[in-house]
Chains A and B, each alone.
Chain A
């Protein structure tokens, strides 16, 4: 389990000569930057909707990559944070609190608190047990949401007004909203890059590589992993707040366990421990899903095996394929 070893040695994101990886990343960022222009010129509003979703889920996948890719903590309940962030926005909106300055901090704080509780319990276990506990908690939250009759229960809840930030930014403008999410994604990638190369990041990565050894040289690994878990939860909670604003709707379906699975697939597909891996993964996954569903009703019959092939044959995901580092 050591994809792209050469990369992990240094920074995981080398700024140097234009390698295939840097070329791909630049092309990807450039493409994403002109999506609204394309949508406006062609009148294809759907492209903007799709790519907004890509960018938001890339933030969620980015947060998962922090704990799963760099920290070796395979959380199978990551969609719960999307749901918590989304419901925080939706519930507050319904109760008449429309300010994003209130909604978003609460969304992030609620997700962080949930991460603290789940992490404190799940991080005492490893492997399959860790996966099962994170899943069990996510299922619990899922059923809690179904039970919230006041907020739509199983049917979900429509959000009539997007979060307002005074006159600062108008999120109801879809182009503004897209660039806002895109900006947050870039900031998020930069933050994760700083974190994984900091002292804190070295502890997290060391614990993935050999936790017993880390304790022997004097690191209390648990507290670092817990903090990492909370950072990832908070980041994904923010993605949830964005997602609720994007769809103007929340429902328990956004934290169904298959959504957690999708996030894992995005991270693995894009390339674990690669800075732009989660974005590559989200982009590929959502475009494939969309494209295949137009071709055939049985899109999952194609998507499933395709992902299987990627997971088995290229350990570093698409990023690993591009850089020629297949690891494993």
Chain B
């Protein structure tokens, strides 16, 4: 059994009367691809927010690689190797794809109090950035301004940026959202290639992609994890079918 990389304990968050996280506990062994599914408003985004540090939990603890990170600021968690991709693409539109990834490399190569050398000609930033772009299949679009990339390409770029920091774990927030079937298939292949080498928490609406990729799946409903197990078990679980997958889910 691999060591536990991410451990969530009794995470609770209320927004007024709404309970967005209701005692969520999860443990992800290193190397696992763990998918979180659930209907809209189930608290998936709140969970991601609490893991990245943008949302402060009311209760509970988060441990990453044996270290308590519950109260660490956003940038510290990123530096520890917990990278995320965004659900809504929020990149730097003025910059090229390569510039964007290079900035991500820069974030993980020491402090940035360097005032003199031109960052856009630094090989130690550009080369790892090129490699990250190659990994997601965007090599040919490196010099293209982000504003001119297609929707699918921007999602690939999101993942390249997350990978550029050499993270130990990726939090992927609906990477397939708004993608055509062809683009989705390409992304599934990309994630499959990453599997094993890197721990992934995948939050995704595309059920086919989830069942194709995940080692384990947890179902989040009203801020609670109602089921957790391997894909076959989840598929068979009656409560899950009722809450989320619907009639067609059982044989889908």
Give the interface of A toward B (CB within 8 A): 2, 5-6, 8-11, 194-195, 197-203, 205-206, 209-210, 212-221, 224, 227
Within the assembled complex, what's the spacing in Å between the Cα atoms of A73 and B35?
A: 40
Q: Does B135 contact A (CB under 8 A)?
A: no
A9, A200, A209, A227 — which one has the most chain B CB atoms within 10 A of its CB? A9
Contacts of B79 in A (CB 8 A): 218
Contacts of A216 in B (CB 8 A): 52, 54, 74-75, 78, 84, 86
A220 touches B103 (CB 8 A): no
Within the assembled complex, what's the spacing in Å between the Cα atoms of A201 and B106?
A: 12
Within the assembled complex, what's the spacing in Å between the Cα atoms of A6 and B146?
A: 11
Residues B99-128 near A (CB distance < 8 A) = 99, 103-104, 106-108, 112-120, 122, 125
Contacts of A11 in B (CB 8 A): 118, 120
- Min CB gap B127→A, angstroms: 15
Closest to B161 in A: A217
A199 touches B119 (CB 8 A): yes
Within the assembled complex, what's the spacing in Å between the Cα atoms of A209 and B100?
A: 11
Q: Does B92 contact A (CB under 8 A)?
A: yes
Contacts of A206 in B (CB 8 A): 92, 103
A202 touches B103 (CB 8 A): yes
- Min CB gap A305→B, angstroms: 31
List 7 A-B pairs, Cβ < 8 Å. Answer: A2-B93, A194-B115, A197-B120, A199-B125, A210-B90, A213-B92, A217-B103
Q: Does B95 contact A (CB under 8 A)?
A: yes
Closest to A197 in B: B118
Q: A5-B147, A9-B96 are in contact. Are A195 and B90 (CB under 8 A)?
A: no
Q: Does B206 contact A (CB under 8 A)?
A: no
A10, A202, A203, A206 — which one has the most chain B CB atoms within 10 A of its CB? A202
- Min CB gap A142→B, angstroms: 32
Q: Does B23 contact A (CB under 8 A)?
A: no
Q: A209-B94, A215-B74, A217-B78 are in contact. Are A200 and B114 (CB under 8 A)?
A: yes
Taking A198-B116, A203-B112 as given, write out 8 further A-B residue pairs in contact, using a Cβ cutoff of 8 Å, ordered by the A residue number.
A8-B94, A199-B106, A199-B114, A200-B112, A216-B52, A217-B83, A217-B103, A217-B107
A197 touches B119 (CB 8 A): yes
Q: Does B145 contact A (CB under 8 A)?
A: yes
B117 touches A198 (CB 8 A): yes
Q: A10-B120, A197-B118, A197-B119 are in contact. Are A219 and B94 (CB under 8 A)?
A: no
- Min CB gap A274→B, angstroms: 14
Q: Which of B78, B113, B119 contacts A218 (CB 8 A)?
A: B78
A227 touches B113 (CB 8 A): yes
Contacts of B165 in A (CB 8 A): 217-218
A220 touches B94 (CB 8 A): no
Contacts of A198 in B (CB 8 A): 114-119
Closest to B84 in A: A216
- Min CB gap B196→A, angstroms: 24
Q: Which of A5, A195, A202, A203 contacts B93 (CB 8 A)?
A: A5
**For chain B, which range describes its interface: under 10, 10 to 19, 20 to 34, or 35 or more residues?**
35 or more
Q: A9-B99, A200-B112, A202-B112 are in contact. Are A219 and B107 (CB under 8 A)?
A: yes
A195 touches B96 (CB 8 A): no
Contacts of A227 in B (CB 8 A): 113
A201, A213, A216, A227 — which one has the most chain B CB atoms within 10 A of its CB? A216
Q: A9-B145, A198-B114, A213-B90 are in contact. Are A220 and B96 (CB under 8 A)?
A: no
Contacts of B94 in A (CB 8 A): 2, 5, 8-9, 205, 209
B73 touches A202 (CB 8 A): no
Contacts of A200 in B (CB 8 A): 112-115
Q: Does B56 contact A (CB under 8 A)?
A: no
Within the assembled complex, what's the spacing in Å between the Cα atoms of A9 and B148?
A: 13
Contacts of A202 in B (CB 8 A): 103, 106, 112, 119-120
Closest to A203 in B: B112
A6, A200, A219 — which one has the most chain B CB atoms within 10 A of its CB? A219
Q: Does B91 contact A (CB under 8 A)?
A: yes
Within the assembled complex, what's the spacing in Å between the Cα atoms of A214 and B104?
A: 8
- Min CB gap A54→B, angstroms: 27
Within the assembled complex, what's the spacing in Å between the Cα atoms of A199 and B108?
A: 12
Q: A202-B119, A209-B93, A212-B90 are in contact. Are A220 and B75 (CB under 8 A)?
A: yes
Q: A217-B107, A218-B107, A220-B75 are in contact. Are A194 and B93 (CB under 8 A)?
A: no
Contacts of B112 in A (CB 8 A): 199-200, 202-203, 219, 224
Contacts of B108 in A (CB 8 A): 218
Contacts of B161 in A (CB 8 A): 217
Closest to A209 in B: B92
Q: A5-B145, A219-B112 are in contact. Are A213 and B119 (CB under 8 A)?
A: no
Within the assembled complex, what's the spacing in Å between the Cα atoms of A219 and B92?
A: 14
Within the assembled complex, what's the spacing in Å between the Cα atoms of A6 and B75?
A: 29
Within the assembled complex, what's the spacing in Å between the Cα atoms of A227 and B112?
A: 11
Contacts of B74 in A (CB 8 A): 215-216
Closest to B89 in A: A213
Q: A5-B145, A198-B117, A202-B112 are in contact. Are A215 and B93 (CB under 8 A)?
A: no
Residues B205-223 near A (CB distance < 8 A) = none
Contacts of A221 in B (CB 8 A): 75
